[in-house]
Amino acid sequence: MTTVAKIIELVGVSKVSWEDAVENALAEASKTLEHITGVELLNLTANVDQGKIYEYKVNLKLAFRVER
Amino acid sequence: MTTVAKIIELVGVSKVSWEDAVENALAEASKTLEHITGVELLNLTANVDQGKIYEYKVNLKLAFRVER
Amino acid sequence: MTTVAKIIELVGVSKVSWEDAVENALAEASKTLEHITGVELLNLTANVDQGKIYEYKVNLKLAFRVER
Amino acid sequence: MTTVAKIIELVGVSKVSWEDAVENALAEASKTLEHITGVELLNLTANVDQGKIYEYKVNLKLAFRVER
Amino acid sequence: MTTVAKIIELVGVSKVSWEDAVENALAEASKTLEHITGVELLNLTANVDQGKIYEYKVNLKLAFRVER
Amino acid sequence: MTTVAKIIELVGVSKVSWEDAVENALAEASKTLEHITGVELLNLTANVDQGKIYEYKVNLKLAFRVER
Amino acid sequence: MTTVAKIIELVGVSKVSWEDAVENALAEASKTLEHITGVELLNLTANVDQGKIYEYKVNLKLAFRVER
Amino acid sequence: MTTVAKIIELVGVSKVSWEDAVENALAEASKTLEHITGVELLNLTANVDQGKIYEYKVNLKLAFRVER
Amino acid sequence: MTTVAKIIELVGVSKVSWEDAVENALAEASKTLEHITGVELLNLTANVDQGKIYEYKVNLKLAFRVER
Amino acid sequence: MTTVAKIIELVGVSKVSWEDAVENALAEASKTLEHITGVELLNLTANVDQGKIYEYKVNLKLAFRVER
Amino acid sequence: MTTVAKIIELVGVSKVSWEDAVENALAEASKTLEHITGVELLNLTANVDQGKIYEYKVNLKLAFRVER
Amino acid sequence: MTTVAKIIELVGVSKVSWEDAVENALAEASKTLEHITGVELLNLTANVDQGKIYEYKVNLKLAFRVER
């Protein structure tokens, strides 16, 4: 059996924190992908209004096994 | 409702210009992806013959919302 | 009306956490800049003494609209 | 006389093209900066709706002489 | 007819060599993708036990034509 | 007296958070290194199972003075 | 017969546009190089006076076959 | 009291050496900025005529505290 | 028990191939390091004489667990 | 006697392997360059058909002494 | 006999110049390392007070042979 | 008249200093190239023996006009 992993890039968002944005992306991705094995954070940004962050954003790479 | 964006990499081509290559990639991608929100140009190259460009190529990242 | 954004680099510090350092930089910057729209984290470092972090530092890019 | 140049980062936008976005940023910046000598394009992105670009964006570095 | 290429990132593994890991990823990917045109190696790593490599891993980008 | 600093790369892990992974690495390193002065985060990754992070990992650079 | 390609870096200039600067570099290079096969844009800059671009510059890599 | 540092990019020039170009930039900047704390060299270039350097140029980042 | 990994950079050499250079570095390192878990190739170079490679060199990162 | 080295970029190709592509580039270059001293691999790619690699390509930097 | 080189990162400081900072790091390192073969400068920074540099700092990589 | 600049990479060496290594490369290059206009330093390294630098090396890019 050959094992190959695929890596995709997602953007997770959250009103709370960057860690929550990562978890949101993971939760959403795991609805359709069964074998997620890891994430790597690429870029942390945020949208700001009136000097306050109202949306945390994380670009992340997500790896999942492709099993057949 | 959780919003997550996915980012994919495409290569658009054109006989006319790099901007046209971007538009071709967008037009093609929008046939199957509903919620494209943005593009980022990564790499501009071209194939040349007899000292003239005959094919413009653009590597681009394309973001689209994954809504459920 | 032409809209242009300007991007500057700041270093925020905090005794508590990197997220707090980001908020400090934002709070300070918003005293003199009206239309801050976003931040991007560049580099997370910390000063250490006796094996403990006593100062969290974040290099960040901050974007604000220049409206006239 | 000592000559020093300063380099700042701007984001220009346009509904027409990336080159127009550069020119918009330049035109806006030259209202307050007298001695702009050059620009360097950093990043070309665009916002998309219905498969069409409606806003071209360019991150650029702009150099100007600081003369005293 | 518009031609667009898509680029995805995979991780191939092998007990034999990095070149074999590339071939495994290609063989696996070509089961579901018809028009693979090229690969680019991104990152070569290996898992080690007792001073010996027991798993070669290659992160690679794979391009394939999207024809319609 | 000549002061030189040495910089080493560590990977800290935690079941709780990336910040805790940094602290774990620092606590461990400070058992054998006396004069740690700072850390720089390089890369944030995590291992995932069933759509949940079970191990946070941080690659970090750690600086310490070499005094003689 | 062995085929090897050589890659050189050029700077093209134009009073009109960056695309024209690429074409100028290509036209000039093709006077002495027979088998140019492609170009890759590296860096787009411009010289500015009075808030207007008067010289577009492109650093580009140019590939040509070395045939014997 | 919140302390934030700002980082700007300058280009210093000198007819003598790159180190002199750094000092020139610092001397010029310190006329208007009170709390400069550090510099980082980014890029060393030079203009050449007849095989001799006649102008040394340094792109540098300069950090200064913003105190209120 | 806290687990931390340390990452060091080595240069392996071989008269045979780059893969052999990696194995040499691993074999040498495993004489003094017990818990090597992985390698990452950074840079492949070679010394050449008379148009032939006589020494293959690999810069690699090597990770090992620090257990206490 | 002043010694200067020049560095050029080549693309070697092979139907067999990436190492063979390096050797082909070296063999070809050494026909016209006398004092090649080293190579550095930059980028490994391959052209693929039917899920099989039919052309290995290596971008490499090649250093040679310029002696006078 | 297998030869492996190890590469470490140091920070040298000096009140005089960046070149002196490199020499200080080398002098200090050579007290404990016998077979240092080369250095590579990574990053040149300086601490500033009153518009004058009072401490030059160099991050450098240092290679030494590990012979057994 | 079309003006194009060509950019080549050289390695200059010196027993004295990095600045001298740059000048050596320039002096050597200007024997065969008429219109050198600038240099950019890429990488500063040195060979070391007994804890002392005996050869300074600079990788640099050199630009020269190609006039016809």
* Cα separation of the two ends of chain J: 8
Share of chain D above pLDDT 70, in %: 96
Nearest to A43 by CA among A25, A17, A61, A20: A61
- The answer to whether residue K10 neighbours chain L at the CB level (below 8 Å) is no
- Chain B: residue nearest G26 by CA? B51
Tell me how far apart the 2 most distant CA atoms of chain A are, in Å.
Answer: 55
d(CA G45, CA E22): 38
The arithmetic mean of pLDDT across residues C45-62, rounded, is 97
**Among F19, F37, F41, whose Cβ lies nearest the Cβ of C48?**
F37
Residues of chain C positioned with their CB less than 8 A from the CB of A45: 38-41
The model's pLDDT over F17-47, given as tens digits with 9 standing for 90+, comes to 999 999 999 999 999 998 999 999 999 999 9
pLDDT at G68: 60
Neighbouring CB atoms inside 10 A of L40's CB total 16
Please judge whether G13 and L3 are an interchain contact, meaning their C-beta atoms are less than 8 angstroms apart. Answer: yes
Choosing among E16, E42, E44, which should be mutated to test the I contact, i.e. which has the most I CBs within 10 A? E44
- The answer to whether residue F36 neighbours chain I at the CB level (below 8 Å) is no
Residue G2's pLDDT band, with cuts at 50, 70 and 90, is low
- The answer to whether residue G29 neighbours chain B at the CB level (below 8 Å) is yes
The average confidence (pLDDT) of chain E is 94
Residue G1's pLDDT band, with cuts at 50, 70 and 90, is very low
Beta bridge partners of A38: A63, F47
The arithmetic mean of pLDDT across residues G28-49, rounded, is 96
Domain borders along chain C are 4-66
**Among K19, K39, K41, whose Cβ lies nearest the Cβ of L48?**
K39
- The answer to whether residue B42 neighbours chain A at the CB level (below 8 Å) is no
The average confidence (pLDDT) of chain F is 94
- Helix (H, G, I), strand (E, B), or coil: what is residue L38? strand
Q: Give the range among B5-19, J41-55, L54-68 with minimum mean pLDDT.
A: L54-68
The average confidence (pLDDT) of chain I is 94
Structure-model confidence comparison of residues L4 and C45, the more confident one: C45
d(CA L53, CA K27): 10
F and J touching (3 or more beta-carbon pairs closer than 8 Å) = no
**Among G2, G7, G61, whose Cβ lies nearest the Cβ of J28?**
G2
Choosing among H19, H23, H32, H59, which should be mutated to test the K contact, i.e. which has the most K CBs within 10 A? H19
The average confidence (pLDDT) of chain J is 94
d(CA E62, CA L40): 35
d(CA I4, CA F8): 13
Q: Is residue L56 predicted with pLDDT exceeding 80?
A: yes
pLDDT at G5: 96
- The answer to whether residue A1 neighbours chain E at the CB level (below 8 Å) is no
Question: Alpha helices, DSSP H only, in A1-68?
Answer: 18-29
Residues of chain D positioned with their CB less than 8 A from the CB of B23: 53
Stated as kind and residue range, the H or E segment containing J17 is: none
Class of domain K4-66: alpha beta
The arithmetic mean of pLDDT across residues G12-41, rounded, is 96
Q: How far is E48 from chain J (nearest CA, A)?
A: 23
Share of chain C above pLDDT 70, in %: 96
Structure tokens that stand for H25 in this block: 């930039």
CB D58, CB D19: distance < 8 Å: no
Question: Alpha helices, DSSP H only, in chain D?
Answer: 18-29
pLDDT at J18: 97
Q: Is residue J1 predicted with pLDDT exceeding 50?
A: no
Please judge whether G30 and B51 are an interchain contact, meaning their C-beta atoms are less than 8 angstroms apart. Answer: yes
The model's pLDDT over H27-61, given as tens digits with 9 standing for 90+, comes to 999 999 989 999 999 999 999 999 999 999 999 99
pLDDT by residue, tens only, chain B of 68 residues? 467 999 999 999 999 999 999 999 999 999 999 899 999 999 999 999 999 999 999 999 999 998 76
List of E strands, I1-68: 4-14, 36-49, 52-66
- Helix (H, G, I), strand (E, B), or coil: what is residue C64? strand
Q: Is residue D1 predicted with pLDDT exceeding 60?
A: no
- The answer to whether residue I23 neighbours chain E at the CB level (below 8 Å) is yes
Please judge whether F3 and K13 are an interchain contact, meaning their C-beta atoms are less than 8 angstroms apart. Answer: yes
The model's pLDDT over I37-68, given as tens digits with 9 standing for 90+, comes to 999 999 999 999 999 999 999 999 999 998 76
**Among C7, C61, C68, whose Cβ lies nearest the Cβ of D10?**
C7
Please judge whether H26 and K50 are an interchain contact, meaning their C-beta atoms are less than 8 angstroms apart. Answer: no
Residues of chain G positioned with their CB less than 8 A from the CB of L66: 28
- The answer to whether residue L6 neighbours chain G at the CB level (below 8 Å) is yes
Residues of chain A positioned with their CB less than 8 A from the CB of E8: 6, 8
Non-local CB neighbours of L29 within 8 Å, separated by 6+ positions: H51, J4, L10, L36, L62
The arithmetic mean of pLDDT across residues C8-22, rounded, is 97
The arithmetic mean of pLDDT across residues H17-33, rounded, is 96
The arithmetic mean of pLDDT across residues J33-37, rounded, is 94
Structure tokens that stand for E62 in this block: 């794979």
d(CA I35, CA I67): 9
pLDDT at J3: 76
Task: Give the rounded distance of the alpha carbon of H34 from its chain centre.
Answer: 15
Q: How far is H57 from chain C (nearest CA, A)?
A: 22
pLDDT at G14: 97
